[in-house]
Structure 1
């Protein structure tokens, strides 16, 4: 029987459990980005509680991004020093950490909100270079890899989506062309830095003329074939058409994808009960699961689950932490 607290391999990383923490917003820094004791304390609680892998809060590329004021900052003078201390804390508990890059707008030098169709080839090269430089910064700060968020409603989800991308060059049209911008980034990161590259993707778009599940599976396979080390499943934050009463809304897709690629597939979304999570582990091909809001409600809840052999998160699913773009819980303060 598989268990969420199994030690396991995650491509090139060794994990103490199958549980992955996914960060969202960061509102508890000071003076433009410097980390506070509250943040260091949260990471230590998570790392020693039994989590297998930590995905950081979202980092935007620059200060003009739509969500920059709610995101972690990699462009302040103390970034490498602060985050090296943070990643060292996690590594002291043998927990790897990936830096999550998630930008909504892109400034190509001429237009700070350049759409995918607007980018020249020079603009595409500029974007790719900035993502690779972000990965380099993460490596200097001790991160074990990068997660490229090309899901939800972020910029790269639009670039890879036929609803938004009507380009007629090598970066538009068929599935391969629309994802080419990311595949080239992955290859360069693997060649120049050599650390873990994870990608977060939508299972579909729920727009007429948008990304379908069939196309999303093609994208995931292309990512795996071109150097991605893991894939996390997500969906757009609005207009989801699924009914989650009977089973997890992404489970069928994740189960199928895990059969068809040879890299780890991470199931995410509304996972709060250890018994249910172990049931998924033992009745599907899914081997890794991600939680976000439960870690906001209580950073070290996994310690209780591991000690008791069971447990449910105290997170009420109110979604205030996400919708209000806060890194704190509105129900609990301890």
Structure 2
């Protein structure tokens, strides 16, 4: 019987469990962008609780980006020092950590909100170079790899989506062409840095003429063929067209994908209790699961689950942390203090 606390391999990493923490917003900073003590305490609680791998909060590289003020800051002068301490905390407990890059807008130098169809080839090269520089900064700060968030409604999700991308050159049209911008980024990161590269992709988006599950499956396989070393499944809010009370909405897709590719597939979304998660592990091809809001509600909840052999997150799924773009639980933080 498989268990979420099995030691296992995840690409080149040896994990202490099958649980992956996914970060979202980062608001707990001080003047100038420096991390507050609460951030370091949060990471230590997570790292020593039994988590297998950590995906950081979202990083954006442009101060004019839509979510920049709610994201981790890669540009402040204390970035390397602060995040070397963060990654050092994770490594002290033998937990690998990937930096998550997610940006909503892109400034190509002429247009602060250049959409996929607007970019010239020079604009594409500029975007790729900036992503590589972010990955390089991650490596300087001690991260073990990078996750490229090309899911939800972030910029690269739109670039790779046929609804938005109507380009007529080699970066538009069929699946391979629309994905080319990311595939080239992956290959450059592998060549210049040697990082683990993870990609976060949507299952579909239910727009007419948009991303379908069939198209998403093709994209995932191309990513794996071109050097991506893990894939996390997610979706836009309006894509939740299924009855989540009956079945995990991403499970069938992730299960099929995990059977078809040779890299780790991470199942995300509304995972709250150990019994359900172990049930998925033992009735599907899924080997890894990610949680976000449960770690916001209680950073070290996995320690209790491991000790008791069971557990349910105290997260109520109110979604206030996400909608208010906070890195803390608005229900429980005051109680814990």
Q: After TM superposition, is the score higher than 0.5? A: yes
Distance 1:296 1:240 in 2: 22
Deviation of the 1:132 alpha carbon? 0.5
Query: Could you tell me which residue of structure 2 aligns to residue 252 of structure 1?
Result: 252
Distance 1:93 1:149 in 2: 26
Deviation of the 1:188 alpha carbon? 0.3
Give the 5 Å matches for 1:11-50: 11-50=11-50
* 1:62-82 Cα distance to aligned partner (Å, 9 max, x none): 100000000000001110011
Deviation of the 1:304 alpha carbon? 0.2
1:153 and 1:237 in contact (8 A); partners too: no
Distance 1:125 1:292 in 2: 33
Distance 1:151 1:116 in 2: 15
Deviation of the 1:328 alpha carbon? 0.8
| DSSP 3-state at the match of 2:110 | coil
Deviation of the 1:246 alpha carbon? 1.1
Distance 1:295 1:189 in 2: 29
Query: Could you tell me which residue of structure 2 aligns to residue 102 of structure 1?
Result: 102
Distance 2:3 2:201 in 1: 25
Query: Could you tell me which residue of structure 2 aligns to residue 167 of structure 1?
Result: 167
Query: Could you tell me which residue of structure 2 aligns to residue 80 of structure 1?
Result: 80
| DSSP 3-state at the match of 2:100 | strand
Query: Could you tell me which residue of structure 2 aligns to residue 290 of structure 1?
Result: 290
Deviation of the 1:239 alpha carbon? 4.5
- Aligned CA RMSD, in angstroms, stands at 0.6
Give the 5 Å matches for 1:175-194: 175-194=175-194
1:297 and 1:328 in contact (8 A); partners too: yes
User: Can you give the 5+ residue segments of structure 1 that lack an aligned partner in the other structure?
Assistant: none
2:204 and 2:239 in contact (8 A); partners too: no
Q: 2:103 aligned with 1:132, yes or no?
A: no
Q: 2:225 aligned with 1:225, yes or no?
A: yes
Query: Could you tell me which residue of structure 1 aligns to residue 155 of structure 2?
Result: 155
Deviation of the 1:237 alpha carbon? 2.2
Distance 2:9 2:61 in 1: 31
Distance 2:240 2:210 in 1: 13
User: Can you give the 5+ residue segments of structure 2 that lack an aligned partner in the other structure?
Assistant: none
* 1:140-180 Cα distance to aligned partner (Å, 9 max, x none): 00000000000000000000000000000000000000000
Distance 1:2 1:285 in 2: 11
1:203 and 1:253 in contact (8 A); partners too: yes
Query: Could you tell me which residue of structure 2 aligns to residue 321 of structure 1?
Result: 321
Q: 2:56 aligned with 1:61, yes or no?
A: no
Distance 2:238 2:61 in 1: 24
1:171 and 1:178 in contact (8 A); partners too: yes
Deviation of the 1:12 alpha carbon? 1.1
Distance 2:68 2:144 in 1: 23
Distance 1:157 1:282 in 2: 31
Q: TM-score, normalised by structure 1?
A: 0.99
Distance 1:119 1:296 in 2: 37
* 1:160-209 Cα distance to aligned partner (Å, 9 max, x none): 00000000000000000000000000000000000110000000011000
Give the 5 Å matches for 1:204-215: 204-215=204-215
Distance 2:234 2:58 in 1: 15
Q: TM-score, normalised by structure 2?
A: 0.98
2:206 and 2:238 in contact (8 A); partners too: no
Deviation of the 1:240 alpha carbon? 2.1
Deviation of the 1:313 alpha carbon? 0.2
2:240 and 2:249 in contact (8 A); partners too: no
